[in-house]
Each structure stands twice: as structure tokens, then as C-alpha cells.
């Protein structure tokens, strides 16, 4: 039986439906939403593998028009957004009751989500995440965005979907590097959430890496429940609760900006989390063994844990200086005083912090 995980938001609650072979659940979502026409947004990789199946399933929802963008982060752009608007508004134009279906990873989810948020002042949206990262992270919580030459995700909005349909069989075609990269985000939930979950991950990592049904389903469900809870408590990042999900992301953002194209997001987060553990050890009382424990676990998932040698102290400082969290020579940094707990620390942006971040494990 599929699991139904609610995201409780006043007036706009929705469900994340998690399971395998969710065709019946998709049909029942369509029956509930009763859209007049569908705009299916996907990328070429995903559409080639799964598009025909979903177009057939969506056939009962009225005319389908599709917009298939090239894969990769560069499609999260104003240009591709404009092609979605053009497809949606070409006669006969979509109506307020038409449904946008985002079939893809986080890139497609963010792009199609932002199009849904802005077309005709907001169209209903259905997420069908196809990457592990999209299942455990980006499809939950309503953040949508495109990139701008000035930076990532600078143009966006909060727009909650009607439902998220997480069919784990879609992961069968996901490339290994993409899968492993998302394991970093899964480990992050364990580090900031509950330590037993980390022990569980360590004990079963071979089966998780092998995408074994059952074990993978349980861990994905645990991550979704965690994020759904956090989003319900702090939908718009106002109470500080949602910020804790940024554990490891401060250094990761600097690495992604300074070494473009070299690391997938989760890979940069893996490096960032190990560095955040060193910072936590120095400034937040984390025990001495934990940074190495986390580095070992992440490395065993084929994830990098070393800060790239070419990242200089000046670049790091400049990168952190551009970070939203910096204020008057200090930085708001997510630390873990012990695995299973996270909090925000205000740290001086000084040599001690830079040394700690740049230290090799």
C-alpha cells in the first residue's frame, strides 16, 4: 500500500503519496483535480524513459501539451521559462483550471513550479519527482525558482502543489552518480534529525546503495516525513526551523560557485557537511570522533569529502561574504552539537573559522 504523508499548511495542505507503480493513485489525483487540459513539463532524459507512460495516464485529463527542455541546470532559465509560457498561452490557451505536471528531477520541478505559480496568476501543480533528490527534498515545500546570471534561484516564489506522487520505480533509470549525490541529503536528515536514523543508514547502507525495495522506501519515507514536518512548521523560512535544513550548504554553495560544473549539488553538500562537523566540533561541542565518522560514511557512498585544493582562503572569504547569512563580520552557520540535533550559531568570520572549513579530513 502506498504511504500518504500529509504536508499540513493552513488552507493548502496536500499529500505526498509514496510507493511503487502509482498509476492508480495518479488517476485518482486527476479525478480529484478535474483539470481542463494538462501542460506536461519534463526534460529530455526523463521524457525519453518515462514520458509515454505518463502521457497515456494523463490522457483522461483533457488535451495534453508538452514542453520538454534539455536536461541540466542551464534549463532553469528565463529562456526556458519563456518557452513554457509560449506553449501554455498558444491558442487554445490553458485555463485557470488547467494542470501543470512536473515530471522530472529538481530542475524540472523548480522550473515548472515557477511557471505554474506565475501563469494566469497561479495554476494547479502536480509534482512527479523522478530523481532521488527531488523525492526527498525539492518536490516538498513549495519552493520554486529559476536561475539568473547574478545567481542561483534568484527568481522564484512559494507555490504549493496539489499533490506529490513519488513512484520509487522511477529511480530504476536514475544514473548512479545522481543517486549517490542525493544520498548526501538523506544523510543530512539523519545528522540533523535523529541519531538512530544515522545508525540505521550505516547498518543498511549497502542495501540502500543497491536501491533495494523496502529498505530504500523506508529511508525515503523517513526523509519526506522529516521535511514535511519542517515545512509545516516554517513554510516561508520565518521561524528559523527550515534554515536547519541548510546544514552543510554554506560551504557547498561556495564550492558550487567557485568550481562550476565539477560537483553535483549533493557532492558539494557532502564536502560541506564534513566541514560543518569540524566547525561544530570547534565551536559547538561536537565530539572528536563524529567528523571522521561522517566522512567515512559519505565516502562509502562514493561521495567526495575533501575541500577542493584550488579553493583559496580569499575565494572562500569572498564566497561567504556574498552569503545571505553574513552580517557585520559574523555568519549564521548551521552546526550540530551532537548527531541528531542542529542549531544555528552566530560565528565570527575570522581565521579560526576559515582554517576549520579548509582543513582536510
Ligand X SMILES: NC(=O)c1ccc[n+]([C@@H]2O[C@H](COP(=O)([O-])OP(=O)(O)OC[C@H]3O[C@@H](n4cnc5c(N)ncnc54)[C@H](O)[C@@H]3O)[C@@H](O)[C@H]2O)c1
Summarize as ranges the residues that interact with ligand X (CB under 6 A).
Answer: 43, 45-46, 49, 71-73, 76, 104-108, 110, 130-131, 133-134, 137-138, 141, 143, 153, 170, 173-174, 178, 265
The DSSP 8-state label assigned to residue 51 in this structure reads: I
Instruction: Show the CA angle centred on residue 62, arms to residues 61 and 65, nearest 5°.
Output: 105
- Is there a catalytic annotation at residue 226? no
Given the complex with ligand X, which of 41 and 133 has the nearer CB atom? 133
- Is there a catalytic annotation at residue 177? no
Given the complex with ligand X, which of 98 and 131 has the nearer CB atom? 131
Nearest to residue 41, comparing CAs of 140, 144, 133? 144
The catalytic position among 15, 25, 185, 235 is 185
Residues 6+ apart with CB under 8 A from 74: none
- Is there a catalytic annotation at residue 3? no
For 112, phi then psi, to 5°, come to -65, -35
Residue-wise DSSP of 162-186:
SEEEEEGGGGGGS-HHHHHHHHHHH
Strands, DSSP E only, in 22-109? Answer: 38-43, 64-69, 99-104
In the complex, least distance from residue 132 CB atom to ligand X, rounded to whole angstroms: 8
The catalytic position among 76, 188, 225, 265 is 265
- Is there a catalytic annotation at residue 185? yes
The catalytic position among 50, 76, 127, 143 is 143
Given the complex with ligand X, which of 117 and 134 has the nearer CB atom? 134
In the complex, least distance from residue 348 CB atom to ligand X, rounded to whole angstroms: 29
Residues 6+ apart with CB under 8 A from 26: 54, 57, 58, 128, 165
- Is there a catalytic annotation at residue 121? yes
- Is there a catalytic annotation at residue 143? yes
- Is there a catalytic annotation at residue 253? yes
Is the Cβ–Cβ distance between 102 and 113 less than 8 Å?
yes
In the complex, least distance from residue 287 CB atom to ligand X, rounded to whole angstroms: 29
Given the complex with ligand X, which of 162 and 290 has the nearer CB atom? 162
What positions carry a catalytic annotation? 121, 143, 185, 227, 237, 242, 246, 249, 253, 265
Amino acid at each position: 500500500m502506498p504511504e500518504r504523508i500529509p504536508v499540513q499548511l493552513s488552507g493548502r495542505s496536500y499529500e505526498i503519496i509514496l510507493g511503487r507503480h502509482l498509476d492508480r493513485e495518479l488517476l485518482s489525483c486527476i479525478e480529484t483535480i478535474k483539470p481542463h487540459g494538462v501542460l506536461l513539463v519534463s526534460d529530455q532524459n526523463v521524457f525519453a524513459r518515462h514520458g509515454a507512460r505518463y502521457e497515456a495516464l494523463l490522457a483522461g485529463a483533457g488535451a495534453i501539451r508538452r514542453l520538454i527542455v534539455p536536461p541540466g541546470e542551464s534549463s532553469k532559465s528565463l529562456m526556458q521559462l519563456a518557452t513554457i509560457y509560449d506553449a501554455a498561452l498558444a491558442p487554445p490557451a490553458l485555463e485557470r483550471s488547467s494542470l501543470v505536471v512536473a515530471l522530472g528531477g529538481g530542475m524540472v520541478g523548480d522550473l515548472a513550479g515557477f511557471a505554474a505559480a506565475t501563469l494566469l496568476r497561479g495554476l494547479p501543480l502536480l509534482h512527479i519527482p523522478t530523481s532521488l533528490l527531488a523525492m526527498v527534498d525539492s518536490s516538498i515545500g513549495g519552493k520554486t525558482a529559476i536561475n539568473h546570471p547574478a545567481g542561483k534561484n534568484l527568481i522564484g516564489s512559494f507555490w504549493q502543489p496539489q499533490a506529490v506522487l513519488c513512484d520509487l520505480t522511477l529511480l530504476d533509470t536514475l544514473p548512479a552518480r545522481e543517486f549517490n549525490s542525493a544520498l548526501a541529503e538523506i544523510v543530512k536528515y539523519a545528522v540533523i534529525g535523529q541519531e538512530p536514523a544515522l545508525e540505521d543508514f550505516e547498518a543498511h547502507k549497502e542495501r540502500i546503495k543497491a536501491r533495494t525495495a523496502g529498505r530504500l522506501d523506508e529511508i525515503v519515507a523517513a526523509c519526506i516525513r522529516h521535511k514535511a514536518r519542517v515545512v509545516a512548521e516554517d513554510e516561508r523560512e520565518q521561524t528559523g526551523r527550515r534554515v536547519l535544513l541548510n546544514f552543510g550548504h554554506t560551504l557547498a554553495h561556495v564550492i558550487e560557485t567557485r568550481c562550476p560544473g565539477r560537483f553535483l549539488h549533493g557532492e558539494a553538500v557532502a564536502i560541506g557537511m564534513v566541514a560543518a562537523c569540524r566547525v561544530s566540533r570547534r565551536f559547538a561541542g561536537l565530539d572528536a570522533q563524529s567528523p571522521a565518522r561522517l566522512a567515512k560514511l559519505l565516502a562509502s557512498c562514493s561521495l567526495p569529502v575533501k575541500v577542493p585544493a584550488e579553493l583559496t582562503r580569499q575565494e572562500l572569504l569572498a564566497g561567504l561574504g556574498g552569503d545571505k547569512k553574513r552580517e557585520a563580520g559574523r555568519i549564521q552557520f548551521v552546526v550540530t552539537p551532537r548527531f541528531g540535533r542542529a542549531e544555528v550559531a552566530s560565528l565570527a568570520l575570522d581565521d579560526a573559522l576559515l582554517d576549520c572549513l579548509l582543513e582536510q579530513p
